Amino acid sequence: MTGNTGNTGNTGNTGNTGNAGISGEFGGGWLIQDRADLPFVTRLDPTNINELGRLRRGAPADGFGDRHWTAKWYAWSILHELAPTGWAAAAEPSLTAIKNALVANFGVELDNLVLAARDERPDAMGPILSQDVEFISDYLALSAMTPGSHPKTYRVLHIASQIGSFGALYFKALYDVTRPSQLCPALLPPVPVPGHSSFPSGHSTQAHLMQLCMKEVLGHPNSNLPAADQDILNANLAILADSVARNREIAGLHYPSDSAGGKDLANSLLTALLNCPPLFPSTTAANRFNDAIAKAAREWS
């Protein structure tokens, strides 16, 4: 059964999608010992009438159950809900304008990155390294939660990560913008340069979509968190999202316009997620994203 854990290794190939390997992602990897000569399933129940393998709970029609869905797999179903909509067409005009401004000012933006590498990189090296592979843990720590204490909110963060990566990679393929370190090798990024183009920043898209999704959770009618506490947490999360994006600039991986494009895309993606039709309209009135937000909100009081 340990072979199941190998699936998580593929997440790194998507170019720092940001959030695999967080503790609490249950659902595989254990090795259960059993006796070959007397398997547990053949033992008799305490009444000595039935083998344990003949005892049943519920029925197949009962379903797998919402609480058994781990965060990363649930996020895939939200992606399928979003994909058939016109989300990309709605986001494209604004992103194209930001990209065109970047192309017109490559020199200025590169000069700013050189200054950032000189003046800011030494102090920023810690978060640059820690956020390269994942940064859901930053949102967990800042919100004083764990995957166990707030499993539905943890699920929402994974949704934001998955959808953010999906959206950013579409536009990366569309625009194919040159990476800063391709134009200025002396930037010498301290982490591997991802194997995809620069604009928009995937880290910025994911980080800002996480922040926006958390704001939806905290402000939902199901949440009992006082308004003052919401304001404080939302302010903290907004600064964190900007910091995640900025650290990628300081590392020489992204232009400032890449970060701006990611933030813009995150807003477009949230609008699309809130308004896309249900994946299974015959079984639910709300789409799965709104349902996930509503369930996460109940964890906040």
Average pLDDT over residues 196-210: 98
Q: What is the pLDDT of residue 18?
A: 43
* Tens digit of each residue's pLDDT (9 = 90 or more) over 150-192: 999 999 999 999 999 999 999 999 999 999 999 999 999 999 9
Amino acid (1-letter code) at residue 294: A
* Tens digit of each residue's pLDDT (9 = 90 or more) over 37-53: 899 999 998 988 889 99
| Residue 299: partners with Cβ closer than 8 Å, 6 or more residues away | 145, 149, 150, 151, 152, 153
The DSSP line for 19-33 is -TT-TT--SS-----
Comparison of pLDDT for 293 and 58, the residue scoring more: 293
- Percent pLDDT > 90 in the chain is 77
* Tens digit of each residue's pLDDT (9 = 90 or more) over 269-278: 999 999 999 9
* Residue 3 in this model has a pLDDT that exceeds 80: no
Q: What is the pLDDT of residue 29?
A: 62
Task: Sketch out the chain's domains with CATH numbers.
Answer: 66-297 (1.20.144)
Listed residue (182, 164, 152) closest to 273, CA to CA: 164
Q: What SS3 class is residue 13?
A: helix
Q: How many residues does the chain have?
A: 301
Cα dihedral: 243, 247, 248, 253 (round 10): 150
DSSP lists the bridge partners of residue 134 as 18
pTM > 0.75? yes
Q: What is the pLDDT of residue 13?
A: 38
What is the phi/psi pair of residue 62, to 5°? Answer: -70, -20
Q: What is the pLDDT of residue 63?
A: 87
Q: What is the pLDDT of residue 7?
A: 41
Q: What SS3 class is residue 66?
A: helix
Q: What is the pLDDT of residue 163?
A: 98
* Tens digit of each residue's pLDDT (9 = 90 or more) over 211-236: 999 999 999 999 999 999 999 999 99
Q: Is the dihedral of CA 54, 58, 62, 63 positive or negative?
A: negative
Listed residue (237, 263, 252) closest to 132, CA to CA: 252
Question: Which of the residue ranges 1-5, 78-82, 120-124 would you say has the lowest mean pLDDT?
Answer: 1-5
Q: What is the pLDDT of residue 28?
A: 53
Residues 229, 301 contacting (CB under 8 angstroms): no
